[in-house]
Chain A
């Protein structure tokens, strides 16, 4: 009887899972909101602490499908004691196959049993806003976490709009984790404050710790890295990207013990001081599982050549500055070394690569899917020579130094391209001859029908060009256009850019993320509110004519989760039009708009489960809310806010 009971529950689970989109979602779109250079890794196989009652079930990796579960379990005698636990074990085993946080959240809402089973089987937790919840609450909810991703400051802190001492310090989290998750293995932080003390605490208190990734964080130095290298015996990943780090020298690299060999990912590309190349070479040759190696400027091409020979299994390479002047012999050796790397799918670095040296990478480019040249001031010709060697390219980041001609070469050579990002080489030089214009982006769209992600910095654009682009590529999920001169109209018609973004939202039904720029009236937002039904993130600057603009968005965009606005004429009416919406969003940022303290107080009074925070500028008058940051939280008001951050109460 019990056996039949368990099968029917199991079958129910199977049926539900088959019917739902869970099975097909290996990679939720949610994950793309993390840094694109650190995707959520597939979870490893589950290993349960308690003895499994279901030994016939094969060990299934969490990325596997559901078909393996079709096998029915053999008869087993089940003791009455196990009766009540048995279904949970089944559930947990099944639910363990689910990766995406969205799916798991949905599962947890089905019933109490599912809620419980899901929370016990969850190994990875993603916290998009560290102040939305407290570490204690997280630990209570998910008792068996092994991997944490935490994001802190609002995104505009990347552009210096947030005071340095704003908060998002990871230490309080680590203290709780030390007692609740002593077996923590992975920690990925974005825009958090991390001190050397915290890094040392991490290294000393988590014996199973394996993977550390820090992106856009600040507050630590190479001393902290030294602690991690010294104490984390099982480290597999050390990924230090684009942080505000005090670089006191490269000795940290020498802190890895001589017998240490577990590293799979090593990224120190953004550290400026020299590391000892011998130490690096020995480390790389010891770590046979090394897949990702991104070195910094100090590594010469000679050293790089030896590294490649020693580690041809690399899948991702950050090649350093690539600027040494090479003799023909050296060039040939380097080319040969690149030829050994048959598995390279990601190539970055190349900060000072010359045209001459760049040709050395050609032999490794045949399987390249992501090429990051966004620090390399390449000219169009150089790019045009490189691209034919990369037939499989799916993601390309470049500087606008390649010009429209370079982008034409992209269109001509990259039929599989899905993502392009064009960064400005000289963002503050007003006299720059327009490096890339509307023609460039049109050329890319013509040659790359699979394009779905674009980030484009330019100095001029037209409505017609954007309309053409989305006609060629209707599948955009991320459309981020930055016309660098604030409030600039269509340069051929002198009209606002409303129709451009209108065409984007009308055509691209799958649009999840949109950044607008140029001269925009409320009409743009009317379009967005009406058509952008899947949009989750919207960034607005120097746009709009009145409160209506923001109102359109708040009322129309049902899936909106993140809204960041700066320098727009949106005031209290606009802010309050979103009253019903903010609890279903992660956060709202409004700076240099027309919101006042009173407006914030009304919001705080009406919506007690939001934190309404105001950062005042020096010298601004008392009524003005210069920078407003609103977010949902179950943790109440912040207790660690600095004096410059006021939590607005309803007083």
Chain B
């Protein structure tokens, strides 16, 4: 018997990751008429696979391959996604809908391979899990992790007519405002359209102020076209507008446009600055202090750069406040094994929604000053402050107000983006960073580094320009702009409040006020039985919770384990972005689910105790 080795590799892979469940699989196939075509193939594969193994037709090379593959499930566990695949294989015991997804994914992959590949000589792949960059392997990004992938699968299933106990998936996993129905700011889109197709500058259907902005941006572009590369640091006039915006925001604190760098979303800027900061080996390896809970871009970037992640915990009991004592604790503990060089702060907080007080920012800056840390301030939610008793204070402004001793020394990079605020233009990938007190030589190095990727998308730069330079009160578009902006921010404030109110009323859910940003990060009680079940399935308890929630209600939220939390506590992150009606439905479904979940795993009396 001759079997095509590549498909054989897949078969054995498949088999080894699943051999314990073969019986379960067969039963599943027989029980499920809907998935017969795919699963019959799957079953065939499994059987052929078994034949191959038992029929001693494996050459020494393929045996090697076989054993290689055998180690893979273990290796895969290191990564979130692959980990989830392994998990879904392990949960076949329970035969819930979760397992089906895992099976189908594998089966489809095999189907493609089986039909396409013909018998050839065996050749090992150059790039396998074994030879893959270990830094890449270590990267995790829950916001688009297994739960979200599964939500996508369910959505496609619904489209194909699969039955679920709900009719639509509500994605509250990611701060993607437009996808949730938020309308773009008309003025911004008019300017981008004009820049894209300058013939429209002659059209009477565009207001003059939009045309002026567009002409100005186009004049800043090579050949007056958005299709040319900009300078690596960004279009000059846009950088000037940003500096003017910062000065105005910070009540006159000077901003030099030479310190402004346009970026591809804020993420790009954050990764670039981290990249500059990472050096040393062993004890001298750069350590990066990040809040826990954190936005997982930070942990992902740190993993990829092979830097040391230093966790400092936000104080959930005090509305996720940042406590300097905790900074010291984390710093001193980390000093034992690495070289802490940078502290990252997210304000307003993601996923935690707190807005830092001015005093707290002062303390952080003082700490950074004392311990000689580079400060990275992620301020992408600067316009998203909802609590009447909170106000956004930029790190730069506070630093300035602390006096020249601080303002002339503390190295600070702050980040902003087009994706959040009231514009919510995620797809444009616009953003900027401002650096303060960066060593001139390092600045030259930064420009060089950025020049390799040529330039951030110019349409995103144009969108950024409109965000920092919106219509002024005397301009024709002002009224509409103002109305749209207030409507978006007003609705967000209402939704923030409603989310907190409804969630906090659910037994076993505690939700801090959503003072700002776009997320609620409530703490959830997961009964010990559920924790045990999750453990036996090899997944974090809040992952199990979110998975069940998705299966039963179609609601997609991200487990707290993807952001980090104190050991033994469980959370999830949900956005407050769905429309009011949808958000209400979501929160009610969530409440019902939670109560059902508690009842399933613990008696209510037990909970009340």
Q: Say whether A and B bind each other.
A: no
Interface residues of B, Cβ cutoff 8 Å to A: none
